């Protein structure tokens, strides 16, 4: 059966309230990235709680070496594709590089992503972003903030490096997490930071943290689809596990990922960074 022609009873789309209930009960949230309808349908059927249409599509779909070339028009196109394939998973979309430089520009572009089917938008940045987050949230745009390694800042960071390793950097990251939460962010993605810092941030705020290379104590996990299927020809980051290995199918790999996230067995120590 093709999942895209699924004739079974329609399933309701997961809401932010349902993700919050999972967070409050301690159930881990399993996110994956997707960029098109067929994989979105497969993930939805395999039980992922949430799909992120990431600007990582710049790397894995378009073949760029960073996410900075990705445009809002390209993001809208991929969100529309994913929204057609997905039925019940929560749907988040990345705001691409330079699409949220002012609050007004952010609102305009977030509206395009939400009209395409996104239920929440994700923005990379620390203290400077608080005003924009407040502006969006006041206008009914749910926001996920993104701290730690922020790939859109690769050229200012000087490469893809683990963040928050020094006591000062860790302190700053915790302060920014609280500030962005207070500005109205309803979720926080943490990328490539030491596991103990992932745990401290998760304990310091009252919104779910979604980790990618941020240790097992985050409220949920996310991986780039191509990475977890071993389908990306580039360098494999330490935080990636190939879930297709030992599974007979892509659906099996996605189910194995969801099971390990829920059980708290992924990420294992070998996928984690130390201070
Ligand atoms: O663009 C993306 O895929 C991301 C990752 C951190 C999951 O933001």
| pLDDT tens for each residue of 40-68 | 999 999 999 999 999 999 999 999 999 99
Q: Does 125 score more than 60 pLDDT?
A: yes
| Cα-to-centroid distance, 246 and ligand 1 (Å) | 25
Q: Does 232 score more than 90 pLDDT?
A: no
Q: How far is CA 127 from CA 1, 107, 134, 145, 147, in A?
A: 48, 18, 12, 11, 10
Instruction: For 134-165, give one letter per residue: b (16+ CB within 10 A) or e.
Output: bbbeeeebbbbbbbbbbbbbbeeeeeeebbbe
Does the reported pTM lie above 0.85? yes
Mean pLDDT over all residues of the chain? Answer: 96
Decide whether any atom of ligand 1 lies within 6 Å of the 99 Cβ. no
Contact 228, 243 (CB under 8 A): yes
| Cα-to-centroid distance, 56 and ligand 1 (Å) | 6
Q: Does 183 score more than 90 pLDDT?
A: yes
| Cα-to-centroid distance, 252 and ligand 1 (Å) | 22
pLDDT at position 37 is: 98
Residue of minimum CA distance from atom 2 in ligand 1: 54
Active site members: 191
| Cα-to-centroid distance, 10 and ligand 1 (Å) | 28
User: What is the arithmetic mean of pLDDT over 188-215?
Assistant: 98
Shortest-distance atom of ligand 1 to CA 122: 8
Decide whether any atom of ligand 1 lies within 6 Å of the 54 Cβ. yes
Q: Determine the Cα–Cα distance for residues 75 and 36; give it in Å rounded to an integer.
A: 11
Structure tokens at 110: 């977030």
User: What is the arithmetic mean of pLDDT over 30-34?
Assistant: 98
pLDDT at position 249 is: 96
Decide whether any atom of ligand 1 lies within 6 Å of the 116 Cβ. no
Contact 122, 164 (CB under 8 A): no
Decide whether any atom of ligand 1 lies within 6 Å of the 121 Cβ. no
Decide whether any atom of ligand 1 lies within 6 Å of the 33 Cβ. yes
Shortest-distance atom of ligand 1 to CA 33: 3
Structure tokens at 178: 């609280």
Q: Determine the Cα–Cα distance for residues 96 and 215; give it in Å rounded to an integer.
A: 25
User: What is the arithmetic mean of pLDDT over 124-138?
Assistant: 98
Q: Does 149 score more than 90 pLDDT?
A: yes
User: What is the arithmetic mean of pLDDT over 98-110?
Assistant: 98
pLDDT at position 140 is: 98
Those residues with Cβ within 8 angstroms of residue 3's Cβ, 6 or more apart along the chain or in another chain: 38, 41, 42, 44, 45, 85
Positive or negative: CA dihedral 211, 230, 90, 117: positive
Decide whether any atom of ligand 1 lies within 6 Å of the 191 Cβ. yes
Contact 43, 74 (CB under 8 A): no
User: Which among 185, 220, 269 is positioned nearest to 52, based on CA atoms?
Assistant: 220
Q: Of all residues in the chain, what percent carry a pLDDT higher than 90?
A: 92
**Stretch (H or E) spanning 107:** helix 103-115
pLDDT at position 1 is: 54
| Cα-to-centroid distance, 146 and ligand 1 (Å) | 9
């Amino acid at each position: 059966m093709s999942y895209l022609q699924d004739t079974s009873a329609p399933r309701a789309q997961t809401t932010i309230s349902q993700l919050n209930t999972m967070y409050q009960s301690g159930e881990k949230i399993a996110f994956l990235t997707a960029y098109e309808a067929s994989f979105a349908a497969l993930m939805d059927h395999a039980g992922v709680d949430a799909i992120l249409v990431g600007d990582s599509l710049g790397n894995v779909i378009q073949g760029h070496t960073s996410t900075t070339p990705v445009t809002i028009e390209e993001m809208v196109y991929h969100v529309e594709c994913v929204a057609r394939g997905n039925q019940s998973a929560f749907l988040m979309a990345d705001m691409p590089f330079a699409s949220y430089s002012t609050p007004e520009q952010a609102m305009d572009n977030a509206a395009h992503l939400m009209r395409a089917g996104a239920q929440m938008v994700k923005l990379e940045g620390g203290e400077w972003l608080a005003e924009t987050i407040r502006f969006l949230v006041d206008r009914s745009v749910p926001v996920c903030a993104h701290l730690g390694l922020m790939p859109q800042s690769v050229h200012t960071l000087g490469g893809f490096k683990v963040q928050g390793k020094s006591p000062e950097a860790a302190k700053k990251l915790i302060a920014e997490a609280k500030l962005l939460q207070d500005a109205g962010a309803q979720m926080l993605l943490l990328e490539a930071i030491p596991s103990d810092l992932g745990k401290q941030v998760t304990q310091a705020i009252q919104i779910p943290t979604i980790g990618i290379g941020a240790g097992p104590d985050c409220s949920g996990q996310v991986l780039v689809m191509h990475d977890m299927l071993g389908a990306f020809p580039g360098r494999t980051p330490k935080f990636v596990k190939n879930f297709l290995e030992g599974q007979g199918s892509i659906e099996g790999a996605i189910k194995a990922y969801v099971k390990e996230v829920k059980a708290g067995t992924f990420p294992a120590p070998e996928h984690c960074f130390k201070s």
